[in-house]
Amino acid sequence: MIIELTEEQIRHKEEFRIFAESKVLPFAKEHDVHERINPKVVQDIADMGYMGSMISKRYGGKQWDNITIGLLNEEIGKSCSAARVLLTVHGMVAIAISRWGTVEQKEKWLKLLAEGKKIGAFALSEPEVGSDAKNVQTTVIDDGDSFLLNGNKKWITMGQIADVFVIFGQLNGSVTAFLVEADTPGFSVKPMRGLLGAKGSMLAELHLDNCRIPKGNIIGKVGTGLTHIGLSCLDYGRYTVAWGCIGLAQACLEASVKYASERKQFGDFLSSNQLIQKMITEMTVNIKAARLLCYQAGYLKDQGDPDSIMETWNAKYFASIITSKVANDAVQIHGGNGCHDSYPIERYFRDARINEIIEGTTQLHEMLISRETFRQAL
């Protein structure tokens, strides 16, 4: 496996860094306070073509390799976690249509998604259903030339501004995926506020009350909602979240190094304290280790290796837990200043915690990774 970036990837990474620092970072605190992404940031991301990073050039997308997509998520995640999750959920919808959609669905949606003229959101979770996705309670009735959807979805990232949703529901006892447009009669959105971190993620509850959609809106086939569509989307989601974690952890590290180099206690800079040095060392090594796991997952994806799925689990698991630790240590290094919003550290701390839950909890990852380890050993 080659882990050195190509010249093109290096160029992209620098472009992403400059964009994130100039167009995203200045709005990060605003997103957190107002629990909403500034529309200008969304438009700027769209104008750069980043909404189509995972979409084929045939439909106006960038069709970037997975390492480049990872670098994009790292740099945006370093500046603002809420802006970064837009790339994840929007990409999940694009992946669903690209891999499993009909010709008509691809022609209708992919160009609009690539240009950011339409925003996508992924709707699997429900008030009573999280990790146990096969037991979604949303029902789907075959009603002649259309389907009728009834149920509720919860914790839907970007649900407040999305134009099209991938909705999962039970059709004939099997979980199936559907495309539902936000302006469909019987479909309504209720904004959610009060999230711990990544507060600008614009979460929503979705309500489907005899929501009628054409039969042409089914994605894939009946019963392939989780085994095909869900698996593809969540794999992409975990991969991008892992890279976003690296960006967030890197932001914590850089802020901590700067603070420790400028702050004095007992006549000496914090950077001279061996306990602080130990924290910085652990931050540095853990971030590098997480980045290497992400490189490996991305490399295997680009090679079409089926092992990329489990390596993505590993990367997301490790990156999310070390980011929580890095953020926790960053607060400790900053002391009281780390607990006040005059510094971004308290936001980083809250944002980091979210990553151990989204796209599969830490505990779910532990069960699946250990299960696969035992399977390979037998």
Residue 378 has pLDDT above 90, yes or no: no
CATH 1.10.540.10-classified regions of the chain: 7-119
Please give the Cα distance from 333 to 322 (Å, whole number). 16
Active-site annotation, residues: 359
CATH of domain 7-119: 1.10.540.10
CATH 1.20.140.10-classified regions of the chain: 226-377
What are the C-alpha distances in Å from 245 to residues 17, 45, 174, 295? 15, 19, 34, 13
When pLDDT is averaged across residues 1-30 and rounded to a whole number, the result is 94
Q: Is this structure's pTM higher than 0.75? A: yes
Residue 98 has pLDDT above 70, yes or no: yes
Q: How confident is residue 265, by pLDDT bands cut at 50, 70 and 90?
A: confident
Over residues 169-212, the pLDDT tens digits come to 999 999 999 999 999 999 999 999 999 999 999 999 999 999 99
Residue 84 has pLDDT above 90, yes or no: yes
Give the pLDDT score at 60: 97
What are the C-alpha distances in Å from 301 to residues 63, 224, 235, 304, 307? 14, 22, 10, 5, 8
Q: Are the beta carbons of 289 and 322 closer than 8 angstroms?
A: yes
Express as a percent the part of the chain with pLDDT over 70. 99
CATH of domain 121-224: 2.40.110.10
Across the strands, what pairs with 151? 208
Q: Is the dihedral of CA 61, 62, 65, 66 positive or negative?
A: negative
Over residues 304-351, the pLDDT tens digits come to 999 999 999 999 999 999 999 999 999 999 999 999 999 999 999 999
Query: What CATH number does domain 226-377 carry, 3.40.50.970, 3.20.20.70, 3.40.640.10, 1.20.140.10?
Result: 1.20.140.10
Please give the Cα distance from 241 to 316 (Å, whole number). 7
What are the C-alpha distances in Å from 50 to residues 44, 167, 174? 9, 24, 34
Q: How confident is residue 158, by pLDDT bands cut at 50, 70 and 90?
A: very high
CATH 2.40.110.10-classified regions of the chain: 121-224
